[in-house]
Chain A
Amino acid sequence: MKNIAIFPGIRGPKRPDFERLIGPHINRLYRMAYHLCGSRYDAEDLVQDLLVKLYPKHKMLLKIDNLRVWLGTSLYNLFIDNHRRYVRSPVTLVENETVMYESVAGGDPTPEEHLYRERHVSYILNALACLSDDQRSILILHDVEGYTLAEITGFTHDPLGTLKSRLHRARQRLRELIDK
């Protein structure tokens, strides 16, 4: 099937080039967006909005050394700048847990392991939702998404020492909430 462009002759970056550059990062960006927004649909909206914003900057993207960090920073900044739009209000909507989740971990768990993991994950997700925005963000960026504190200074523009303290307090708080 061929998509017919409504405005032929308008030049822009070729879609296959942009797709080749950004395509491999979409799943990871969605994962990060999901943890920031708390819902699949808001996360998809956030990623989609980022792609719309980046599409005209295709040539600039080719020159970036660490696209993984640059894209993560852009997504995070877009989320912060449009905070009210991308949820995290006192009332948030979440997926029903009976919908299949894709776990990053490989291997097939036993039914008991699966049930334990679902409950454990549920406690952690609830506890994450109870943290302050700053504490939740640092945990998502560092412990969930794996960015280093040095990389996160580029996201939040906070000094390294501040981020380290915040991470320590966030982890302590998360442990307290889970233990309750």
Chain B
Amino acid sequence: MKCNDIQQSIDDAIDGQLSQAQERAFDAHIATCAHCRENLNRAQALQETLRELPVPPLSDNFAERALRHAAQVNSASNRHRYFGAGFLSAAIAASAVFIALFLVQPQLFQADIPMVSMQMQEIRTVNLAFNSPVDIDAVTFSMQLPGNFELSGYSGMRKVTWTASLQKGRNVLSLPIIALGKGNGVMHAQIGHKDQIKSFRIRLRALGKGEINSRFHVSIKQLS
């Protein structure tokens, strides 16, 4: 086998798809060619990393909540069938589902919005990371903050909107947020490009003097 043949056969070798004769020829070449051996090692290392790609841990009690949610939604859907057709009955069923979800699992709407805590008058930098497959111009960012928070440097402005570009790969947006007074609120953010808009929310919590910041989440919830 020549180096070019080895290059074409690396995937089959990694996947154990070479015939015995091909495998012998492949191994014989690898044993004598440092360049091909290096390529094979790198390809194998990449495969190993792909097999072991890490993922962020599931949110607390996700399995339990998700299974309970599936049971509740389907129980409410069954109730809808007994109401029969018609706009009014559909509206009743929809509100019944909402009530059922809210009353039985009130945490469902709150648990998946990330929260950032900070001391009053402290500037806390919240980093939002974006992965872009291509360079993109004219991406619109819009941030709306609750009453007792503002972006440092934008005093008195509840809503800040600007346009920027994203580079291919990883982009980090650093938001210096300052809490003007004690209390909680929700920051609403939108990122838009042409006709696509992504929205997300972050809960902000301003701690009083002496309170301890016990949680710090930086992961982002996207709303559909």
Interfacial residues, chain A to chain B (CB-CB below 8 A): 3-7, 10-12, 15, 18-19, 22-23, 26-27, 30-31, 34-35, 38-45, 47-48, 51-52, 54-56, 85, 87, 89-105, 120-122, 124-126, 129-131, 139, 143-144, 146, 167-168, 171, 174-175, 178
B104 near A: Cβ within 8 Å? yes
Q: Are A93 and B200 also in contact (CB < 8 A) when A6-B103, A7-B100, A40-B56 are? A: yes
Contact B219 A18 (CB under 8 A): no
Residue of A nearest to B97 (CB): A6
With beta carbons under 8 angstroms apart, the residue of B55, B112, B132, B166 that contacts A102 is: B55
B78 near A: Cβ within 8 Å? yes
Taking CB atoms, residues of chain A closer than 8 Å to B214 are none
Tell me which of B18-26, B61-69, B84-92, B178-186 binds A: B61-69
**A100 vs B224: C-alpha distance in the bound complex, in angstroms?**
26
Taking CB atoms, residues of chain B closer than 8 Å to A31 are 55
**A102 vs B198: C-alpha distance in the bound complex, in angstroms?**
27
Task: Tell me if B's interface is mostly helix, strand, loop or mixed.
Answer: mixed
Residue of A nearest to B223 (CB): A41
Shortest beta-carbon distance from B180 to chain A in Å: 25
Contact A144 B51 (CB under 8 A): yes
Taking CB atoms, residues of chain B closer than 8 Å to A139 are 50
Contact B131 A96 (CB under 8 A): no
**A130 vs B55: C-alpha distance in the bound complex, in angstroms?**
18
Taking CB atoms, residues of chain A closer than 8 Å to B100 are 6-7
**A40 vs B38: C-alpha distance in the bound complex, in angstroms?**
35
B28 near A: Cβ within 8 Å? no
Taking CB atoms, residues of chain A closer than 8 Å to B128 are 93
Taking CB atoms, residues of chain B closer than 8 Å to A146 are 51
With beta carbons under 8 angstroms apart, the residue of B43, B79, B193, B220 that contacts A41 is: B220
**A3 vs B62: C-alpha distance in the bound complex, in angstroms?**
17
Taking CB atoms, residues of chain B closer than 8 Å to A30 are 55, 58, 62
Q: Are A102 and B54 also in contact (CB < 8 A) when A41-B222, A175-B43 are? A: yes
Shortest beta-carbon distance from A18 to chain B in Å: 7
With beta carbons under 8 angstroms apart, the residue of B56, B76, B198 that contacts A95 is: B56
Contact A94 B222 (CB under 8 A): no
Interface positions of B from 77 to 114, Cβ below 8 Å from A: 78-79, 96, 99-100, 103-104, 112
Taking CB atoms, residues of chain A closer than 8 Å to B96 are 6-7
Residue of A nearest to B219 (CB): A95
**Inter-chain contact total with CB atoms closer than 8 Å:** 199
Contact A97 B222 (CB under 8 A): no
Contact A90 B68 (CB under 8 A): no
B75 near A: Cβ within 8 Å? yes
| Those 6 A-B pairs whose CB atoms lie nearest each other, nearest first | A101-B54, A51-B70, A96-B218, A6-B100, A55-B70, A103-B54
B53 near A: Cβ within 8 Å? yes
Tell me which of B29-37, B133-141, B203-211 binds A: B133-141
**A156 vs B79: C-alpha distance in the bound complex, in angstroms?**
36
Cβ contacts A to B, 23 pairs, < 8 Å: A6-B72, A6-B104, A7-B75, A7-B79, A26-B62, A30-B58, A39-B219, A41-B222, A43-B55, A44-B59, A45-B224, A48-B66, A52-B73, A91-B130, A93-B129, A94-B129, A95-B218, A96-B129, A99-B217, A102-B57, A103-B54, A124-B53, A130-B168
Contact A48 B70 (CB under 8 A): yes
B169 near A: Cβ within 8 Å? yes
Contact B67 A18 (CB under 8 A): yes
**A48 vs B101: C-alpha distance in the bound complex, in angstroms?**
14
Contact A96 B54 (CB under 8 A): no
Contact A124 B112 (CB under 8 A): no
Taking CB atoms, residues of chain A closer than 8 Å to B49 are 120-121, 124
Contact A105 B52 (CB under 8 A): yes
**A27 vs B136: C-alpha distance in the bound complex, in angstroms?**
34
